[in-house]
Copies of this chain bind each other. A is one copy, B any other.
Amino acid sequence: MNTVDRLSTSELKMLRSLTQKKFRQREKKFILEGWRGLKDALNAGWRLDLLAVLRSYLDSADYAGLLAQAQQRRTPLREISEKELGEISMTVHAQGAVAIAHQRSVEPDELLAVREGLFLLVDGVTDPGNLGTLIRTADWFGAAGVVLGRGSVELYNEKVVRSAIGSLFHLPVAENVELVEFIKALDAAGASVAALAGDGTTDYRDVTVRPLTALVVGSEGHGVTPPVRAASAQVVQIPRSGKAESLNVAVACGVVLAHVRHTTPKKGG
């Protein structure tokens, strides 16, 4: 690994520009930080333009396998300095590697082609940490895909990517989807669609689980928007035993997805 070139000025400039949303959207690329995400991206066959690594990691046997895998995939490998990495990475404990990855565009129709499984629909979640945690939670419970409505935070925001911890590469995520239309299409496909709301009318343990089931979660402040709520066949809530104002959206999502996953789907239910 001693022949690795230093990051060029233009490559550093590209990395820097991708810390901004407008450049991510123009280039259709994003920044991936850390080894865990890199491993998942490589294993998922995600397209990478560049991998920049601190000297100490280039010489470490622990990372040789991953670096070889990236090189087999013809990903240009560069050495980056601590200072340059600090400019690009938002993480306090930068993990020594950043990559430029291509965004993957998922069409709603691709997701609707899935006839069995669990979907998470996200209606206006604005906190990037919450969105990343939602994607990771959906992945843990084996969701077939995640669908983001128009009001949600940008999928390739670095905090979303970081808090999803690789799950972004495990399941398809569609962005900027018209959720009411999507729910209508799910209904037509025989799905059970349940929105989650603090004032829902149905206990989440009574949610209808079908081979195709979708859970809709809303924004931290305002919940699911009225048109999306109206389009959902059920509005479920998690009973409160204490005094908390609300549950965090990712926690609430986890509680319901665990229940749905651990309930046997009723055919034609």
Given A129-B129, A246-B165, A250-B251, also A141-B258 (CB < 8 A): no
Residue of B nearest to A136 (CB): B244
The answer on a CB contact under 8 Å between A143 and B242 is yes
Write out the residue numbers on chain B whose beta carbons fall within 8 Å of the beta carbon of A171. 242-243
Given A255-B255, A255-B258, A258-B255, also A139-B250 (CB < 8 A): no
Q: Is A62 an interface residue (CB 8 A)?
A: no
Q: Is A245 an interface residue (CB 8 A)?
A: yes
Write out the residue numbers on chain B whose beta carbons fall within 8 Å of the beta carbon of A140. 238, 240-242, 244, 246-247
Write out the residue numbers on chain B whose beta carbons fall within 8 Å of the beta carbon of A254. 247-248, 251-252, 254-255
Count of identical protomers in the assembly: 2
Which positions 31-90 of chain A face chain B at CB distance < 8 Å? 36
The answer on a CB contact under 8 Å between B141 and A242 is yes
Q: How many residues of A contact B (CB 8 A)?
A: 39
Which positions 221-259 of chain A face chain B at CB distance < 8 Å? 238-248, 250-255, 258-259
Write out the residue numbers on chain B whose beta carbons fall within 8 Å of the beta carbon of A166. 244-245
Which positions 125-161 of chain A face chain B at CB distance < 8 Å? 129, 133, 136-143
The answer on a CB contact under 8 Å between A165 and B242 is no
Write out the residue numbers on chain B whose beta carbons fall within 8 Å of the beta carbon of A138. 242
Given A205-B262, A250-B250, also A139-B255 (CB < 8 A): no
Q: Is A6 an interface residue (CB 8 A)?
A: no
Write out the residue numbers on chain B whose beta carbons fall within 8 Å of the beta carbon of A247. 136-137, 140, 254
- Contact with A251, one of B137, B242, B259, B262 (Cβ below 8 angstroms): B137
Write out the residue numbers on chain B whose beta carbons fall within 8 Å of the beta carbon of A246. 136, 140, 165
Q: List 24 A-B contacts (CB under 8 A).
A: A129-B129, A133-B251, A136-B244, A136-B246, A136-B248, A137-B244, A137-B248, A137-B251, A138-B242, A139-B243, A140-B238, A140-B247, A141-B240, A142-B241, A142-B242, A143-B242, A165-B244, A166-B244, A167-B242, A170-B244, A171-B242, A248-B254, A251-B251, A251-B253
Residues of A with Cβ closer than 8 Å to B?
36, 129, 133, 136-143, 163, 165-167, 170-171, 205, 238-248, 250-255, 258-259, 261-262
